[in-house]
Protein backbone atom coordinates (compact mmCIF):
# COMPACT_ATOMS: atom_id res chain seq x y z
CA UNK A 1 0.00 0.00 0.00
CA UNK A 2 1.34 3.42 -1.02
CA UNK A 3 -0.06 6.20 1.14
CA UNK A 4 1.00 9.84 1.18
CA UNK A 5 2.07 10.97 4.65
CA UNK A 6 -0.57 13.71 4.68
CA UNK A 7 -3.49 11.31 4.11
CA UNK A 8 -5.75 10.44 7.04
CA UNK A 9 -6.96 6.83 7.13
CA UNK A 10 -9.10 5.30 9.86
CA UNK A 11 -7.64 2.23 11.54
CA UNK A 12 -11.02 0.55 11.00
CA UNK A 13 -10.94 1.02 7.21
CA UNK A 14 -10.08 -2.04 5.11
CA UNK A 15 -7.46 -1.11 2.54
CA UNK A 16 -5.84 -3.68 0.22
CA UNK A 17 -2.05 -3.81 0.05
CA UNK A 18 -1.58 -2.45 -3.47
CA UNK A 19 -3.87 0.60 -3.17
CA UNK A 20 -2.43 4.08 -3.77
CA UNK A 21 -3.74 7.04 -1.74
CA UNK A 22 -2.62 10.58 -2.57
CA UNK A 23 -2.01 13.72 -0.50
CA UNK A 24 -4.61 14.98 1.98
CA UNK A 25 -7.11 12.19 1.31
CA UNK A 26 -9.49 11.18 4.10
CA UNK A 27 -10.65 7.56 4.37
CA UNK A 28 -13.12 7.00 7.22
CA UNK A 29 -14.14 3.86 9.07
CA UNK A 30 -16.50 1.35 7.41
CA UNK A 31 -14.77 1.98 4.07
CA UNK A 32 -13.30 -0.93 2.11
CA UNK A 33 -10.97 -0.34 -0.85
CA UNK A 34 -9.86 -3.32 -2.92
CA UNK A 35 -6.78 -4.15 -4.98
CA UNK A 36 -5.32 -1.83 -7.56
CA UNK A 37 -7.43 1.26 -6.86
CA UNK A 38 -5.70 4.65 -7.06
CA UNK A 39 -7.04 7.67 -5.18
CA UNK A 40 -5.79 11.17 -5.99
CA UNK A 41 -5.33 14.15 -3.69
CA UNK A 42 -8.06 15.67 -1.50
CA UNK A 43 -10.56 12.86 -2.03
CA UNK A 44 -12.88 12.03 0.87
CA UNK A 45 -14.37 8.52 1.14
CA UNK A 46 -16.77 7.84 3.98
CA UNK A 47 -19.91 5.95 5.00
CA UNK A 48 -20.46 2.24 4.47
CA UNK A 49 -18.64 2.32 1.15
CA UNK A 50 -17.01 -0.51 -0.78
CA UNK A 51 -14.72 0.42 -3.69
CA UNK A 52 -13.79 -2.47 -5.98
CA UNK A 53 -10.60 -3.25 -7.87
CA UNK A 54 -8.57 -1.10 -10.27
CA UNK A 55 -10.63 2.05 -9.96
CA UNK A 56 -9.05 5.43 -10.70
CA UNK A 57 -10.47 8.17 -8.48
CA UNK A 58 -9.28 11.68 -9.29
CA UNK A 59 -8.81 14.74 -7.09
CA UNK A 60 -11.46 16.23 -4.85
CA UNK A 61 -14.13 13.53 -5.05
CA UNK A 62 -16.59 13.03 -2.18
CA UNK A 63 -17.72 9.42 -2.15
CA UNK A 64 -20.11 7.81 0.32
CA UNK A 65 -21.62 10.98 1.75
CA UNK A 66 -25.10 10.57 3.23
CA UNK A 67 -28.11 11.46 1.05
CA UNK A 68 -29.23 15.05 0.64
CA UNK A 69 -32.71 14.57 2.08
CA UNK A 70 -34.61 16.76 4.48
CA UNK A 71 -35.48 14.89 7.64
CA UNK A 72 -32.89 12.15 7.18
CA UNK A 73 -31.31 11.83 10.62
CA UNK A 74 -29.35 8.59 10.44
CA UNK A 75 -26.53 7.73 8.08
CA UNK A 76 -27.32 4.03 7.61
CA UNK A 77 -27.09 3.55 3.85
CA UNK A 78 -24.46 1.87 1.71
CA UNK A 79 -22.51 2.47 -1.49
CA UNK A 80 -20.98 -0.29 -3.60
CA UNK A 81 -18.65 0.60 -6.48
CA UNK A 82 -17.47 -2.13 -8.85
CA UNK A 83 -14.22 -2.53 -10.78
CA UNK A 84 -12.29 -0.55 -13.42
CA UNK A 85 -14.24 2.67 -13.07
CA UNK A 86 -12.75 6.09 -13.85
CA UNK A 87 -14.10 8.76 -11.51
CA UNK A 88 -12.88 12.21 -12.48
CA UNK A 89 -12.44 15.42 -10.49
CA UNK A 90 -15.00 16.49 -7.88
CA UNK A 91 -17.54 13.74 -8.54
CA UNK A 92 -20.01 13.21 -5.68
CA UNK A 93 -21.71 9.87 -4.97
CA UNK A 94 -24.13 9.31 -2.07
CA UNK A 95 -25.10 6.23 -0.10
CA UNK A 96 -28.61 4.76 -0.02
CA UNK A 97 -31.32 5.91 2.37
CA UNK A 98 -31.90 2.51 3.99
CA UNK A 99 -29.57 -0.02 5.55
CA UNK A 100 -30.94 -2.91 3.50
CA UNK A 101 -30.38 -1.08 0.20
CA UNK A 102 -27.30 0.25 -1.62
CA UNK A 103 -26.35 2.83 -4.18
CA UNK A 104 -24.75 0.71 -6.90
CA UNK A 105 -22.08 1.58 -9.46
CA UNK A 106 -21.11 -1.27 -11.79
CA UNK A 107 -17.94 -1.84 -13.80
CA UNK A 108 -16.02 0.08 -16.49
CA UNK A 109 -17.96 3.30 -16.08
CA UNK A 110 -16.55 6.76 -16.87
CA UNK A 111 -17.86 9.46 -14.53
CA UNK A 112 -16.58 12.85 -15.71
CA UNK A 113 -15.84 15.87 -13.57
CA UNK A 114 -18.48 17.43 -11.31
CA UNK A 115 -21.08 14.77 -12.11
CA UNK A 116 -23.36 13.80 -9.23
CA UNK A 117 -25.02 10.48 -8.37
CA UNK A 118 -27.63 10.70 -5.63
CA UNK A 119 -28.90 8.10 -3.17
CA UNK A 120 -30.26 4.68 -4.17
CA UNK A 121 -29.20 4.95 -7.80
CA UNK A 122 -28.22 1.89 -9.80
CA UNK A 123 -25.71 2.28 -12.63
CA UNK A 124 -24.82 -0.82 -14.63
CA UNK A 125 -21.69 -1.15 -16.78
CA UNK A 126 -19.85 0.83 -19.50
CA UNK A 127 -21.83 4.01 -18.81
CA UNK A 128 -20.51 7.50 -19.56
CA UNK A 129 -21.63 10.43 -17.42
CA UNK A 130 -20.33 13.59 -19.03
CA UNK A 131 -19.17 16.72 -17.23
CA UNK A 132 -21.70 18.19 -14.81
CA UNK A 133 -24.46 15.61 -15.34
CA UNK A 134 -26.85 15.33 -12.39
CA UNK A 135 -28.48 12.03 -11.46
CA UNK A 136 -31.26 12.30 -8.85
CA UNK A 137 -32.26 9.61 -6.36
CA UNK A 138 -33.46 6.11 -7.29
CA UNK A 139 -32.44 6.48 -10.96
CA UNK A 140 -31.57 3.32 -12.91
CA UNK A 141 -29.13 3.56 -15.83
CA UNK A 142 -28.58 0.44 -17.90
CA UNK A 143 -25.48 -0.78 -19.76
CA UNK A 144 -23.67 1.40 -22.32
CA UNK A 145 -25.88 4.47 -21.86
CA UNK A 146 -24.37 7.91 -22.45
CA UNK A 147 -25.41 10.96 -20.44
CA UNK A 148 -24.09 14.17 -22.02
CA UNK A 149 -22.88 17.33 -20.29
CA UNK A 150 -25.10 19.11 -17.77
CA UNK A 151 -28.03 16.76 -18.34
CA UNK A 152 -30.42 16.39 -15.38
CA UNK A 153 -32.20 13.12 -14.64
CA UNK A 154 -35.34 13.24 -12.46
CA UNK A 155 -35.68 10.83 -9.54
CA UNK A 156 -37.00 7.30 -10.24
CA UNK A 157 -36.33 7.62 -14.00
CA UNK A 158 -34.95 4.62 -15.91
CA UNK A 159 -32.46 5.06 -18.74
CA UNK A 160 -32.45 2.11 -21.13
CA UNK A 161 -29.47 0.24 -22.54
CA UNK A 162 -27.42 1.93 -25.27
CA UNK A 163 -29.51 5.09 -25.07
CA UNK A 164 -28.14 8.61 -25.50
CA UNK A 165 -29.10 11.69 -23.47
CA UNK A 166 -28.12 14.97 -25.13
CA UNK A 167 -26.37 17.87 -23.42
CA UNK A 168 -28.49 20.14 -21.19
CA UNK A 169 -31.39 17.69 -21.47
CA UNK A 170 -34.02 17.47 -18.73
CA UNK A 171 -35.24 13.87 -18.38
CA UNK A 172 -38.48 13.38 -16.46
CA UNK A 173 -39.71 10.08 -17.90
CA UNK A 174 -38.15 6.75 -18.81
CA UNK A 175 -35.97 6.49 -21.92
CA UNK A 176 -36.41 3.15 -23.75
CA UNK A 177 -33.31 1.22 -24.86
CA UNK A 178 -31.47 2.41 -27.99
CA UNK A 179 -33.22 5.81 -28.11
CA UNK A 180 -31.84 9.36 -28.25
CA UNK A 181 -33.34 11.96 -25.90
CA UNK A 182 -32.78 15.70 -26.36
CA UNK A 183 -34.28 18.82 -24.81
CA UNK A 184 -37.24 18.49 -22.46
CA UNK A 185 -37.45 14.69 -22.24
CA UNK A 186 -38.22 14.25 -25.95
CA UNK A 187 -37.20 11.30 -28.13
CA UNK A 188 -35.57 12.47 -31.37
CA UNK A 189 -34.79 9.09 -32.88
CA UNK A 190 -32.58 6.09 -32.24
CA UNK A 191 -29.00 6.30 -30.96
CA UNK A 192 -27.57 5.35 -34.34
CA UNK A 193 -23.96 6.36 -33.61
CA UNK A 194 -23.94 4.48 -30.31
CA UNK A 195 -25.48 1.39 -31.89
CA UNK A 196 -22.84 1.29 -34.62
CA UNK A 197 -20.04 1.76 -32.10
CA UNK A 198 -21.45 -1.15 -30.11
CA UNK A 199 -21.29 -3.27 -33.29
CA UNK A 200 -25.05 -3.77 -33.45
CA UNK A 201 -25.75 -5.34 -36.85
CA UNK A 202 -27.53 -3.54 -39.68
CA UNK A 203 -30.44 -5.97 -39.43
CA UNK A 204 -30.82 -5.28 -35.70
CA UNK A 205 -30.68 -1.52 -36.32
CA UNK A 206 -33.50 -1.90 -38.86
CA UNK A 207 -35.51 -3.75 -36.21
CA UNK A 208 -34.90 -0.97 -33.69
CA UNK A 209 -35.99 1.63 -36.27
CA UNK A 210 -39.16 -0.39 -36.79
CA UNK A 211 -39.85 -0.32 -33.05
CA UNK A 212 -39.22 3.44 -33.00
CA UNK A 213 -41.71 3.98 -35.82
CA UNK A 214 -44.36 1.93 -34.02
CA UNK A 215 -43.85 3.83 -30.76
CA UNK A 216 -43.35 7.37 -32.02
CA UNK A 217 -44.64 7.66 -35.59
CA UNK A 218 -47.86 5.66 -35.69
CA UNK A 219 -49.32 7.60 -32.74
CA UNK A 220 -51.21 4.68 -31.27
CA UNK A 221 -52.06 4.35 -27.57
CA UNK A 222 -49.06 2.94 -25.72
CA UNK A 223 -50.91 -0.27 -24.86
CA UNK A 224 -51.59 -0.93 -28.55
CA UNK A 225 -47.96 -0.15 -29.41
CA UNK A 226 -46.69 -2.67 -26.86
CA UNK A 227 -49.06 -5.32 -28.19
CA UNK A 228 -47.76 -4.72 -31.71
CA UNK A 229 -44.12 -4.87 -30.56
CA UNK A 230 -44.67 -8.13 -28.68
CA UNK A 231 -45.86 -9.84 -31.87
CA UNK A 232 -42.54 -9.19 -33.62
CA UNK A 233 -39.92 -11.94 -33.33
CA UNK A 234 -36.88 -9.83 -32.49
CA UNK A 235 -34.80 -9.86 -29.26
CA UNK A 236 -34.12 -6.11 -29.52
CA UNK A 237 -37.78 -5.26 -30.02
CA UNK A 238 -38.78 -7.58 -27.18
CA UNK A 239 -36.24 -5.81 -24.96
CA UNK A 240 -37.86 -2.47 -25.76
CA UNK A 241 -41.35 -3.84 -25.14
CA UNK A 242 -40.39 -5.35 -21.78
CA UNK A 243 -38.72 -2.11 -20.68
CA UNK A 244 -41.88 -0.12 -21.45
CA UNK A 245 -44.15 -2.65 -19.71
CA UNK A 246 -42.05 -2.29 -16.55
CA UNK A 247 -42.14 1.51 -16.65
CA UNK A 248 -43.76 3.22 -13.67
CA UNK A 249 -43.23 6.83 -14.76
CA UNK A 250 -44.14 6.29 -18.40
CA UNK A 251 -41.81 6.76 -21.35
CA UNK A 252 -40.70 10.02 -22.90
CA UNK A 253 -42.74 11.23 -25.86
CA UNK A 254 -41.62 12.01 -29.40
CA UNK A 255 -40.23 15.37 -30.43
CA UNK A 256 -42.84 17.17 -32.52
CA UNK A 257 -41.74 20.70 -33.29
CA UNK A 258 -43.51 23.60 -34.93
CA UNK A 259 -42.35 24.64 -38.39
CA UNK A 260 -40.41 27.56 -36.88
CA UNK A 261 -38.63 25.30 -34.40
CA UNK A 262 -37.71 22.92 -37.20
CA UNK A 263 -36.20 25.73 -39.26
CA UNK A 264 -34.24 27.43 -36.49
CA UNK A 265 -33.53 24.60 -34.00
CA UNK A 266 -34.09 21.09 -35.29
CA UNK A 267 -32.59 21.17 -38.76
CA UNK A 268 -29.34 22.95 -37.78
CA UNK A 269 -28.85 20.44 -34.97
CA UNK A 270 -29.55 17.38 -37.03
CA UNK A 271 -27.42 18.49 -39.95
CA UNK A 272 -24.59 19.61 -37.66
CA UNK A 273 -24.19 22.90 -39.43
CA UNK A 274 -24.51 26.56 -38.59
CA UNK A 275 -27.03 28.83 -40.26
CA UNK A 276 -25.68 32.32 -40.71
CA UNK A 277 -28.43 34.67 -39.67
CA UNK A 278 -27.22 37.38 -42.03
CA UNK A 279 -28.16 35.18 -44.99
CA UNK A 280 -31.71 34.90 -43.72
CA UNK A 281 -32.27 38.37 -42.32
CA UNK A 282 -30.15 40.60 -44.52
CA UNK A 283 -32.10 43.73 -43.77
CA UNK A 284 -32.49 43.27 -40.00
CA UNK A 285 -30.11 45.25 -37.81
CA UNK A 286 -29.30 43.21 -34.72
Q: Which residues are catalytic?
A: 119-120, 137
| Residue 272 CA, distance from chain mean position | 24
Tell me if 130 sits within 8 A of 115, measured CB to CB.
yes
Cα three-residue angle 165-171-173, rounded to 5 degrees: 115
Cα three-residue angle 40-125-103, rounded to 5 degrees: 70
Quick one: which of 3, 8, 44, 41 has its CA closest to 20?
3
Quick one: which of 125, 48, 53, 58 has its CA closest to 92?
58
Amino acid sequence: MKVDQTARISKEAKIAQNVEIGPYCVIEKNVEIKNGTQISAYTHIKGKTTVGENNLIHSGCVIGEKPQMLGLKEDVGKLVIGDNNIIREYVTIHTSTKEEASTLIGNNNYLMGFSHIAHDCSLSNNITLSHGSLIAGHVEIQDNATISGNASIHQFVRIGRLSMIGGLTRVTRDIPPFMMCIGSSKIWGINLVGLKRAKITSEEIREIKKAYNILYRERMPIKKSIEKLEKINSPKIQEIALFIKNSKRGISSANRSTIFEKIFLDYPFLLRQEIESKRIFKKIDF
